[in-house]
Structure formats: structure tokens, C-alpha cells
Structure 1
Amino acid sequence: MKRSEREIPKSWVPDRTVWLNVGVPMSLLGLGTFRLRGDETVRLSLEAALENGYRLVDTATVYGNEAAIGSALNTLLPRHGLSRADIFLTSKLSPKDHGKEQAEAACLRSLKELGCDYLDLYLVHWPGTQGWPQDDAGNRERRLRSWRALEKLHDGRKLRAIGVSNYTIRHLEELLAECRVRPSVLQVEFHPELAQSALLSFCRREGIHLQAYSSLGAGHLVDRPEVAKVAMCHGRQPSQVLLRWALQQGVSVIPKSASPSRVAENAQLWTWELSQADMEELNAMDCGKHYCWDPSGVA
């Protein structure tokens, strides 16, 4: 597919967009929806996101909110003069649904819940299978069978791009050696205390886009003095500094908030930048700290 601005929806800003390895544009800022539950909570968060230029919505089967998101988008998109094509919609395969037939059925259920004909991106959420030991050697074969299902759905244009979440370099190397359709995105925990420089370099070499979740370190990093110092120098919020830190490395972000004002605040990332000294100060925080899940033990 030829890459040109004409292929980007008119409501998008080109320099806030990344092109995936399958020729699909993706917004660099998205709304994360982990733990967003309830129709009204979801609607208010989504409305604030659309009003403030978010054009990506990230969900997952395990979040339990796909139906609420689908219903809210059906109401909100026309209200804001937008269509389905203006929104980059991501969901993820539950760890309990690994396997070719199970994965295909799970993806089709997500499409039904979200009320759409296709997803822009569908990720394998976790390299292991729910209910199986992490060190079980069968994990590798089960996630490969899941990938075969995603490839089939990608061929059938149900999925514009496919990728993975919480994979290590080892998991990616195994997948790249076996796949027919290469992963477009790797979504992982990524913040100054978990900078994952080797993983980021690997993804850059392989043409896989890295997307950050838990950019605020599950909320712990907004109170760190190093972050507060940089924020004060720029007249910004600590959360904005942490999100900008990722963006300046070419990493997209999907901050989540149930507060409409915080959703708006998190979108103020484009008219300023961190200095090299700021980046170095934040990079010095790296200590390999996981606040969410560490996938390194999954066989």
C-alpha cells in the first residue's frame, strides 16, 4: 500500500500518526480502557477523548467493556462528525482463548461485542495460556496456533493489523521465525523505570512498532521527584512528562482515565518537548521495575 497523507482520515493529524509495517496508519495517542467499567463511565471517558483529538481506542476481551465501548462509539461518532473509519480500534485475545479455533471464535465475539465489521489491530494479550503453568512448554505451540488464526482473519480483512502484547525478545524471535504475517505492534509496560531499551531496539530493527501501557507506572511515577522536577521546568503535569518521554522515542501511548478533565490533560503533548537533559534524567530512573506483569517466565 502506498503511504500518503490521503490515506489518513481527515480528522487525524499526520505528525501524530505512525505507519505500521502493513501500510496501516495508527494514531500515536490513544485512550486506554483497562478497568473502565459501566456504560456511563465509558461514555464520558470516550466523549472527552474524541473532543480532545484522540483517534485510537484500546480495549481487550478481559477488560469486560467491549459492548459498552461499541455502544458509546455508535452514539458519539456521529455526534462529533466522525465515522468508524476515523477511529483506530484495538482489542486483544484473552489468555484463556489460545488455540486456532478458540482464537478465531474469540476475535469474532469481540467484533460482535464492539458492533463493527473489522478491527484495526488485534493483539495476543499474553504469551501464556490461562490455567497452564508459565513454564509449560506447550505455551509456545498454543500461542503459535493463535497467531495462525489471526493471520487467517487478517487475510479475510477482519483485522487490518495484528500484533502481540507482553512478549519478550525471546517470544518475538520465536514468532518471527514461524509467522507468515509479521506482527505490526508490540504493546508492553514501558516507562522510565522500565525503559526496555534492548526490546525497543529489537522492535526498531524488525519494523515492529512499540506501544506503551502503564506509562505512569500504575500511578507511582507521578510522585517521583525526578519527574516532578522536569514537569515544573516545563510548566506541565508529571503525567504529561511521562507520556511525552515515550513519544519522543517514537513509542505510542494509551493513557487511561475515568476523569474527563484528566483525559483532556493527557492529550496536551504536542506543542512542547523534553530536552536531551530531561530525557537523560528520566532515563536514569531505569531499574527494570514491573508494576504490572512480568512475562519473562512464560515458556
Structure 2
Amino acid sequence: METVKLNTGSDMPIVGLGTFKLRGQELVVQTVETALKLGYRSIDTAAVYRNEADIAIALKQFCPKYGIERNKLFITSKLAPKDQGYAEAKSAVLKSLEAFGLEYLDLYLVHWPGKQGMLREDERNRQYRKDTWRALEELHLEGQLRAIGVSNYTVRHMKELLEHCQVKPAVLQIEHHPELQQTELISLCREHGIHFQAYSSLGTGKLVSHSAVVETATKYNRTPGQILLRWAVQRGVGIIPKSTNPQHLKDNIHIFDFTLEEGDMGRLDSLDSGMHYCWDPEHVA
């Protein structure tokens, strides 16, 4: 598995297992086992996914079986929007650590730039973000969070964070695919040594039927999903595709044995339209 070196010095797998909407202990455990067997070592979850404890069961059961040491795993979780704030964030991290039965998480992200229950335009969101980040910085310095970062932050949110932070975010995770390329955000992240990681790389599944993607897949004898994932990693973007299908899990990780030609990259690049298939955080104050 190819990795990227974070600004903390840690190595993070470029491909991780996404677990959004992965619910039910049996399915979670089965999916995580399949992923581990296939070579996945990075698992992305969040408090709001409500599957941390089930993922922990799978790791406890199958890591010894497949000889996977803790230091070979990369576990990411995220702060629920309801837990924005200094004390709330600290408490939430401890709950996630307890759910996993771990002494540390490899990466912890602020899931959303706003506080749950507050209007998007409420200026108090700014202070909540600042207080939350201070809590995560302290937990990072104490060693309970090996790296900290953010999710769904816009250029404005990122610039605000960079003005006051003592510890730079290691990762920004946000929606990214050929129709939403986030060029300005990627440039900002590269300028500050922040790894850019995509979710919804397939446009919630809608882009796999796009003619440009299908035709490119035919040319390379690959699946449309593999083309979209390869396009992302070729741009230096990390990915966390989610699937419970064993064949799809295998396909999603086998994208490092071919390269898209410049013309094909350009064709996919030309699809950028600013289309959001998920949430748009632009209007969060």
C-alpha cells in the first residue's frame, strides 16, 4: 500500500476504507475483515457513523489472525458537530478512544465547521471552531491524537484556522471528484504541507455512468470506479472509498498498477463544474 508522509512525520495510506453508513455489527465486522485481508490498513470512521465499537470488535478479532500490529494500522475518527467546543471536544475524543479500546488515534478530524443546533450564519461558530482546535492541539501534544485535521472546511475556514493554530492541521478531508475539483483548496493545502483527502470520489456513485468515465474505463480495461480513484491519486489526493462488496473492495485498492495518460487526465479535468453531491459548507460562518 502506497503512503503519504503527513506533516507530523507519520505515514498515512493513500487508500483507506470509508465506513459512512456502514451499520450493523455483522456487516461491519465482515467488511473490515475482508478489507484487512485485501491489504487495507487505514480505516476512516466518525462518531456520527455510530460504528466505532463494531470496528473495534473486528480489529480485536482479526488483527491477531492476520498478524497486523497496531503500528501498522491507521485509524481515523471525527468529532460530531454537537461536540464542538473545548470541553465537549475533549470528552468526545475520550469516548472515541474508549469505544475503540485504544490509547491513541492516528488521525482525528473536526467533522464540520459549524456547531450542531446553531444557524450556519451564526458568528459564534468561529469561536467554537477555535476552542475545539485548542482542545485537539492539547490532546495531540499529549499523544492521544497522533495527528489532527479538519473535514468540510472551505478556503475561508482553512485560512482562519491557519491564523491562530499552534499545530497545523495534518489533513483536510472534503468532497472531491472530477465535477468538484477544489483547486484552490488543494493549492492552499500544498502551500502549508496539509494532506488533501477526498470523500465521495465517485460522486455518490453518479459519476460511474458518466460517458467520459465509462469510455476511459473501457480503454484501460478497468472499472469506472477504478478510473475515478486513479484520477484522484494521480492528482496527489488521498481517498477513502466505501464498499461492502468484496470485489469492489479489491478493485478500489488495486489502482497503483496503471497510470492514466495526460490526455485522459485532461478529459476528466474538464468535467469540473462545482457540483456538490454531498454537503456544501460554504455558508457556515
Partners of 2:43 and 2:111 lie apart in 1 by 16
Q: Which residue of 2 aligns with 1:209?
A: 195
Alignment partner, residue 26 of structure 2: 40
Q: Helix, strand or coil: the match of 1:285?
A: coil
Q: Which structure 2 residue ranges, 5 or more long, are not aligned?
A: none
For residues 237 and 94 of structure 2, what CA distance do their matches in structure 1 show? 29
The equivalent of 1:4 in structure 2 is none
| Residue of structure 1 in register with 2:253 after alignment | 267
Aligned to 1:223: 209
Residue aligned with 1:164, SS = strand
Q: Return the offset for 1:248.
A: 0.3
After superposition, where does 1:10-25 map in structure 2 within 5 Å? Answer: 13=1, 16-25=2-11
Q: Aligned partners of 1:46 and 1:143: how far apart in 2?
A: 32
How does 1:45-124 map onto structure 2 within 5 Å? Answer: 45-124=31-110
Do structure 1's residue 170 and structure 2's residue 150 form an aligned pair? no
Equivalent of 1:248, from 215, 234, 258? 234
2:1 is the alignment partner of 1:30: no
1:131 corresponds in structure 2 to 117
Aligned pairs, number:
285
SS of 1:147's partner is: helix
- Which string of whole-angstrom CA distances, capped at 9 and with x for unpartnered residues, describes residues 205-246 of structure 1? 111100000000000000100100100000000000000011
Q: TM-score, normalised by structure 2?
A: 0.99
Find the counterpart in structure 2 of residue 183 from structure 1: 169
Structure 1: which 4+ aligned runs deviate by more than 4 Å? none
**What SS does the corresponding residue of 1:79 show, helix, strand or coil?**
coil
Listed one character per residue, the Cα deviations across residues 143-190 of structure 1 (whole Å, up to 9, x for unaligned) are 110001100100110000000000011101100000000000000000
> Amino acid of the residue matched to residue 164 of structure 2?
E
In the aligned structure 2, how far is the partner of 1:290 from the partner of 1:108? Answer: 33
**Following the alignment from structure 1 to structure 2, what is the Cα–Cα distance between the partners of residues 149 and 199?**
24
The aligned counterpart of 1:3 is none
Q: Percent identity?
A: 53
RMSD, matched Cα: 0.7
- Secondary structure in structure 1 of the residue aligned to 2:57: helix
Pairwise CA distance, 1:260: 1.8
* CA distance, structure 1, for counterparts of residue 212 and residue 100 of structure 2: 40
Cα distance in 2 for residues equivalent to 1:79 and 1:243: 29
Distance in 2 separating the partners of 1:54 and 1:254: 10
